[in-house]
Chain A
Amino acid sequence: MIEERFDAIVVGAGMAGNAAALTMAKRGMKVLQIERGEYPGSKNVQGAILYADMLEKLVPDFREDAPLERHLVEQRFWMMDGKSHTGLHHRSEDFNEEKPNRYTIIRAQFDKWLSSKAQEAGAIVLCETTVKELVQDAYGKVIGVITDRDGGQVHADVVVLAEGVNGLLGTKAALRERPTPENVALAVKEMHFLPRETIETRFNLKGDEGVVIEAAGTISAGMTGMGFIYTNKESISIGIGCLVSDFQKTGETPYGLLERFKKHPSVAPLIEGSEVKEYAGHLIPEGGYKAIPQLYGDGWVVVGDAAQLNNAMHREGSNLAMTSGRIAGEAIFQVKSRKDPMTKENLALYKKMLDDSFVIKDLKKYKDMPALLHIQSQNFFLTYPQLVNKALQNFVRVDGTPKIEKEKTTIKSFVSARSWGGLFGDAFRLARAWR
C-alpha cells in the first residue's frame, strides 16, 4: 500500500469523485482516489444525460475528446395508459448549435475519460480497491481510510466521500443515516443495440442528433416512478424506476415492470429487433432537499448521490454530483491555502458555497414535491394518465357524437374519478409544491 500521506483522499470515481479529484489535483494538491471497480465507471450506472455547462466548468474543451453519444435535439414527455400515450414534444433546430447543451453518454466510458483528466492533473487513482472503514482519531476527526489491500491504511487531511447513493462508509461511521425506502428509487435499465441508421430512422434523426423520452403513467402501476428511453449512437438505453417503498407495498418486480414498459405498443416498435447487451439496477436519491444529510464534519465532506443531491423533477443527478464535487474541491483548496486545519468549522465553507449555487437553490424550490408525488402517487401515476388519454382519444375520434356531448363525457369522467374538490385540491397542491 502507499505509505505517504495525502492532502485529500477521494472515495469513489463517479461524477462527484472525479470532479473533486480533478479540481484539487489541478490546484497542485496531493490527491489519492480510491475506486472499487476494475476501472473508473465499471460500477456506475446512469440513464444517462450529460449537461454541458457543469462539465465545462471542469474540462472547458471536453468536446474535443470526451466520449459523447448524441446531442439532444428533441425531448418527449409521455403520459401513458395501457395502450396509449399523450405527449408533449419539444424539438428545435436551435439545439444543433456549435456547442450543444445536452448529450447522451455511456457512463462506463465517460467516467473512465473524466478520470483520465484527473490523472493527467496529478491525482493518483487506485482501482480494484474497496474502502472498508474510515479512520477517526480520538476526537472523531476523520484522518484516513482502511482499504481491503494488505496493510491498507492511508492517511490524509481530508476525506471526500463520493461513494454513491448506497454509501456504506458514511453510515458505518455514523456521519449520516442509511437512505430510507421512501427516499430512494430503484431503477433497472437495459442497453439495446441497433444499427445507427435504424435508430436514426425510428427517431427521425440525422447524424449525431438524439432524442430522449421521459414517460410516466400506468406503466409504473400506480407507484411513484418514471420510464425513460434515451438514444445513443448505436444503442438505446431503456429503463424504469420507482420508489423502493412503493415496490415494497405493491410486490411488483422491477424486471416485470421493465418488460411491460418494453411491450407497450408505443415503445415496442422503437426497440424491435435489438440485441440486449447489459442489464443494470441502481438506486436513485429521490428525497430532495429534505433528505440532504449533514454535508461536512471534522476531516470529511460528502458529495453527489451519497449526499442525496439529485433533482428528480429535472432529472439532474450527475451534474449536481459534478458540481458538488467541484465545489467541495474548491472549498478544501481554499481552507488548505489559508493553511487552516480541515475542521468542521472550516469545511462549513463547502456548505456555504453549495447553498449559494444552483444545486441547493433548485432542490429547495422543489422541497415539497417528493412528499406530494409519493402521497398522491395513485392519482398522478394512474388516475390522471388514464383520464387524459381517454379525454384526448374522445377529442380526436370523430364518430358523429355531438361535440358538446363529448365534452360532457370528458368532464364527467374527471369529476367522477376525482370530484371537483379533489381536482382543485390536486391542482392547488401541485402548484404550491412547484413554487
Chain B
Amino acid sequence: MAINIEMLTDDFLEGDQNQAWERIMDHSELVENSYLTFEVLTKAMHRIGILWEENKISVADEHLATTTCDYVLSRYAHFRKMANRNSEGPKALFLCIEQEQHYLGVKMISLLFEEYGFQTKLFGANLPLEYTLDQAKKWGASVVGISVSIRHHAERLNRYVTELEDLPHSPEIIVGGRLASQYDLSSYCSEQTKLVADLRQVREWLESWKDSVQYDL
C-alpha cells in the first residue's frame, strides 16, 4: 500500500518526528529505495506549500514542518549510511543561492549523488557567491548544484552560473529547486548549464553520467 502523503504532511505540521519516521519505515519500498523516499518527502513538502496558499497554515507552521522533514531526512540518510561514504570519486558541491532558505531539496540531491559514488559537500541555505567560488576552486568540485526556489532570487542566479563556469577547472553547473520546476530559467543560465526540474531529472543525469564513465578495467 502506498504511503499516505496527507498523513505524513500532518506529522510534519505537528512536529511529530517519530510518527513521521515510523510512517516511512512502515513501507518496505521506502526503506529500500531512497529515491522513492525523497519523492515522498518532496510531495509532502509541496503539500505544505499548497496549504499556505490556501491560508490553512502560517509561515511558522512551515518552519516547523521543514525542520521535522529535515530530521526525518537526516535520520534516513543515517539509517541507510548514505552521507559522506565516498573518500574517492568525483566531487560535487551543493548550495542554495544567497538569501535562499529552502535547502531540503538540495540536501536530498546531494545524498542521491553520494549514492552514485560522488564525494559531496552540502553547504545548504544562503551561500554567498564569493564563498561558493572559493570553495569550488579550493576543493576542485567537478559539479556544483545550485538551488533556487524564490522568483525574487532568480536575478542572482546568472552571476553564480557565469562566475562558476568561468573557474579554471570549469565545473559542470546544475540548477534545480522549486523555481526550476515552474519556470524556464535558461535565460539566467548559459548553454552548458544543466537545468533540472525535479528529482527524476537529477536521477536521469546521474544515470547518463554513470553510463559515460569509462572504467579502467
Q: Do A and B share a complex?
A: no
| Chain B residues packing against A (C-beta within 8 Å) | none
